[in-house]
């Protein structure tokens, strides 16, 4: 019997595994980097061991330190979570060699499937060795990992070498292995996968299907089970292939076999020898706890001959600290408030007041809804996210709500090109026009220095806010009776937290929260502007500012001050949250200033370069 589990991971998945361990009466051990010293997964664990440093290569990718931590804390088993070392056969062997229980598949099975190139060969599929014009478009992928890291779509042969270089760098940073390979890219297919669970006694479960087609940067955003619209014949084929892959390598534990589906044809992509981020939708539909089953299998128990029956439909949305309208740029800062209605399941590694840093994935939480039908599950999830209070860095919450309500998704006709087609409309600003007034009235509550009744109404007060990139000026006044009024709107109630307005016969109540200069009015975020702008905050036209904190990992070859550049030309690359982000020239002209160097750490808003446009 396992009595104490160390989770070789962080954040949401560590908290998720700890939750099941507590329910089973198992003690928990966390590991943490210096950046995660006060993280939620550290606070909820029974014990925690520091991994000195902040970069993954120095901490969560150091298998030797993690094994040492497990022994020091008295753990008798290790759960790898997902990402980091979860698909590293050397780490699995080190855990077993230390006399610990490995809550995962045998190292030999991981090794057989860990390299996507070897996995394809095992199933008789050969990746591209040489790429020609006729092969385009192609997909560059990291051999040792997933999650979109080290993955690039190449549509021009001239771009292949540069994308290979970038993919290798991302793969090395994320997985400690820079091997990449190239395969044909199927435009606008569906990403469908099969959850498997196998014991050491020959039983393999194929637990339905999942559709994970809504992706950005090849990372999943919305997932659901079962995958809608698959024929019984195709579903049987997917299950059969998944079971064959598991049996071919003597698999045990939880894993996922992924496919690209176009029409009624399925192309094998890879096998992930670990728990997936989206596993909760399968848990909801089958009424199981996959982590508990992983632990039972690791203890040597047998599975039933047949898996439980599926019931209903489940949909999951990943809430990220990122700005979809700005090329999905990750965001950092303090998460002041995270409150999602309890009508849905919420898996998260954050609580109110926690910082979101630059070192790791920007995933904040996963929200999961289960209902008897697909339509009901979608409505339940979109409604919960719409009502959620999320205060802090910019998130993709509005994008998720709009995606879930988009006709292409609700009809079940989506594919991996969904955001390529619809991102502009899904990120079109649609703020509440009365949000600035609600913010101003909440701020004005109690500010009247005369208080109560007055002989004459006060002069109009003015406040300015930015909302969805535009500046808004609000005018209101204190009445003789000590209340507040605004032109064209009845102010029924106003205090520092709640404002009730009536406009055109419709009454609405707004919840207002202020954190520094940021004001959150229900789901709308505003920035309060000072009465007099700070001249020091102004920048010359053509200034390129860091869209996020990060590290300058690359500067374009030959780029110096005075170099002529073209609009859209990549100038430098920032690495943040395990991804690389291109900074491009805003116009055709001349690079008049380059203010950073390779390896330099920059903060949000740091001046990187200045491009003077050709007149």
Mind telling me the catalytic residues?
274
Alpha helix (H) residue ranges in 141-289: 160-175, 232-248, 279-286
Cβ contact 367:377 at 8 Å: no
Q: How many residues does the chain have?
A: 615
> Using CA atoms, how far apart are residues 113 and 272, in angstroms rounded to an integer?
7
Buried b (16+ CB within 10 A) or exposed e, 487-508: eebebeebeeeebbbeeeeeee
Cβ contact 70:19 at 8 Å: no
> Using CA atoms, how far apart are residues 444 and 283, in angstroms rounded to an integer?
48
Cβ contact 16:82 at 8 Å: no
C-alpha Rg value of the chain to the nearest Å: 26
E-strand stretches of 495-606? 498-503, 506-515, 518-521, 524-528, 543-545, 550-555, 564-565, 570-576, 579-584, 589-594, 601-602
> Using CA atoms, how far apart are residues 262 and 380, in angstroms rounded to an integer?
29
> Using CA atoms, how far apart are residues 415 and 558, in angstroms rounded to an integer?
40
> Using CA atoms, how far apart are residues 88 and 68, in angstroms rounded to an integer?
17
């Amino acid at each position: 019997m396992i009595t104490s589990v160390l989770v070789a991971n962080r954040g949401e998945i560590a908290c998720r595994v700890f939750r099941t361990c507590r329910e089973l009466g198992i003690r928990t051990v966390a590991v943490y980097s210096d950046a995660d010293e006060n993280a939620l997964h550290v606070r909820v664990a029974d014990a925690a061991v520091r991994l000195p440093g902040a970069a993954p290569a120095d901490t969560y990718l150091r298998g030797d330190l993690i094994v040492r931590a497990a022994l020091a804390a008295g753990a008798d088993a290790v759960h790898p979570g997902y990402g980091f070392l979860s698909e590293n056969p050397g780490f699995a062997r080190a855990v077993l060699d230390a006399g610990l229980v490995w809550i995962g598949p045998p190292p030999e099975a991981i090794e057989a499937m860990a390299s996507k190139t070897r996995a394809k060969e095992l199933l008789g599929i050969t990746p591209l060795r040489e790429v020609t014009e006729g092969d385009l478009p192609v997909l560059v992928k990291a051999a040792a990992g997933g999650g979109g890291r080290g993955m690039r779509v190449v549509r021009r042969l001239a771009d292949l070498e540069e994308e290979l270089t970038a993919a290798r760098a991302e793969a090395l940073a994320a997985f400690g292995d820079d091997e990449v390979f190239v395969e044909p890219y199927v435009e606008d297919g569906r990403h469908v996968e099969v959850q498997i669970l196998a014991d050491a006694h020959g039983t393999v479960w194929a637990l339905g299907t999942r559709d994970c087609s809504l992706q950005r940067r090849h990372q999943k955003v919305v997932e659901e089970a079962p995958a809608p619209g698959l024929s019984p014949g195709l579903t049987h084929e997917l299950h059969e292939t998944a079971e064959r892959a598991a049996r071919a390598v003597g698999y045990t534990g939880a894993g996922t076999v992924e496919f690209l589906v176009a029409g009624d044809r399925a192309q094998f992509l890879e096998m992930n020898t670990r728990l997936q981020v989206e596993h909760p939708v399968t848990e909801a539909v089958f009424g199981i706890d996959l982590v508990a089953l992983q632990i039972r299998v690791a203890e040597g128990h047998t599975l039933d001959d047949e898996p439980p029956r599926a019931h209903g439909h489940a949909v999951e949305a990943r809430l990220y600290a990122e700005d979809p309208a700005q090329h999905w740029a990750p965001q950092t800062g303090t998460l002041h408030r995270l409150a999602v209605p309890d009508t849905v399941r919420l898996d998260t590694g954050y609580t109110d007041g926690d910082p979101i840093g630059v070192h790791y994935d920007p995933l904040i939480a996963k929200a999961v809804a289960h209902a008897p039908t697909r339509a009901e599950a979608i409505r339940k999830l979109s409604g919960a996210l719409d009502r959620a209070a999320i205060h802090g860095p910019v998130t993709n919450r509005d994008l998720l709500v709009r995606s879930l309500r988009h006709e292409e998704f609700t009809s079940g006709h989506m594919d991996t090109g969904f955001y390529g087609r619809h991102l502009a409309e899904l990120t079109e600003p649609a703020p509440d026009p009365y949000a600035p007034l609600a913010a101003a009235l909440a701020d004005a509550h109690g500010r009247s220095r005369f208080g109560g009744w007055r002989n004459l109404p006060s002069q109009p007060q003015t406040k300015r806010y930015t909302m969805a990139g535009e500046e808004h000026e609000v005018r209101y006044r204190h009445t003789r009776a000590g209340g507040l009024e605004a032109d064209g709107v009845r102010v029924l109630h106003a205090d520092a937290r709640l404002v009730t307005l009536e406009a055109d016969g419709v009454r609405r109540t707004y919840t207002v929260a202020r954190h520094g200069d940021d004001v959150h009015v229900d789901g709308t975020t505003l920035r309060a502007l000072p009465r007099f702008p700070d001249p020091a905050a102004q920048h010359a036209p053509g200034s390129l500012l860091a869209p996020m904190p990060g590290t300058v990992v690359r500067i374009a070859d030959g780029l110096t001050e005075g170099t002529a550049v073209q609009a859209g030309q990549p100038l430098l690359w920032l690495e943040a949250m395990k991804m690389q982000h291109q900074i491009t020239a805003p116009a055709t002209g001349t690079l008049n200033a380059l203010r950073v160097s390779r390896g330099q750490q920059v903060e949000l808003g740091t001046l990187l370069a200045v491009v003077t446009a050709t007149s």
